[in-house]
Structure 1
Amino acid sequence: MVASLKKPAEETGSGKPSLIHVGLGGPKKLRMRAMLMFCTYAFLTAFCFSTWIPVMAQYALTFHLSGISQTALYFYNPIIVFIFALPIGIMAAKMDFKNVMVLGSVLLFTGTGIKAIPVQVLESTPLIHIGTAIQGVCFAVMYLGIPIISATWFKPGLRTIPTAFITSSIAFGLATAFAAIPPIIDGNSALM
């Protein structure tokens, strides 16, 4: 488990091993663990939010959504990211980024859980709007986390590595949602 997402001791110039690194396999392994942890978060965030797009038509028929509701659910992500980018950035600057990421993970779990609550058709639409908006906050954490992880944890010559891994995790999460969700909804096991 990563104890903190602050700059490793070898780059602070203190020369002493920090308490952060005790028992975690050293600074290089700690960097990789932090990057892989954030890649997992990025994958799950992209996957959970993108499950809406492949099933939009079936969902609109089942829950009798208007065109405005469909459009709102589709555009929550960019709107919420725009609104919450500054507050999340301030939180990341004042707090340890690990705490911001834990908050994002809790919000992702909460937003996805709210969307999955089985209720009557007419009562579920507000819950789905709320859950999707909460998931948009998770995207703000994800987008702001890419430069934070790259700039804080990796030397200038190596910063493209975490950026590529995290961006690939986002793309893989999107692709997985588009490949896995429609067959589940259609009730067959063949990939589209």
Structure 2
Amino acid sequence: MASECRVTEPLLRALRDVQPELTPESRAAVQAVLETGAGSYVSFRVLRELQSLLRGRGSQLYLHELLEGSEIHLPVVELPERNPELVARLEKIKAKLANEEYKRITKNVTCQSNQQGTLADFGRQVRPLKTVIITIFNFLVTVAAAFACTYIGSQYVFTESAARVLSSVIVASLVGLAELYVLVRTMEGQLGDL
């Protein structure tokens, strides 16, 4: 905290006027300031005493007018030397926190990543699609096989082509409905597991 102020000419004149009325301790400090002249420093304790003397006299000269143009002298703050053990502990803690932050930021980053995500994620996304494609292909093959078997087998029962096609469509439709029923039950079970 500031404790001194640089002396200006108006302040020097005021200090000369009140020097005899000051306390002996303040008088010695003012004497040293008067010998040095403008540019030296005077303590705030002396300035407080000067202000009280000026008030007691009823002077029209106020302290802020005397201090106009002067500068506050801020002493240099000497920082104590830091404990080396404390510095080492702080460095360890900083390094540990930085490492934890780095791990938190990079926990979902792998070297196998592509634009959508990792290859493992891509495999998990493709697996259900592969199952759906196989199921649809299986459904179409089953319906087509039922139609073909009925069409070929109905040549022994029907002689006309229209009757053979109609019977084949009916059997293929029944097989398709049965396949859809089984498919829906299976999908319902799989969705229940999710």
* Alignment TM-score > 0.5, same fold: no
- What TM-score bracket applies, with the shorter chain setting the length? under 0.3
Would you tell me which structure has more helix in proportion to its own residues?
1
* TM-score of the superposed pair, with normalisation by structure 1: 0.25
Q: Which structure's relative contact order is higher, taking Cα pairs within 8 Å and 6+ residues apart?
A: 1
Larger strand share, 1 or 2: 2
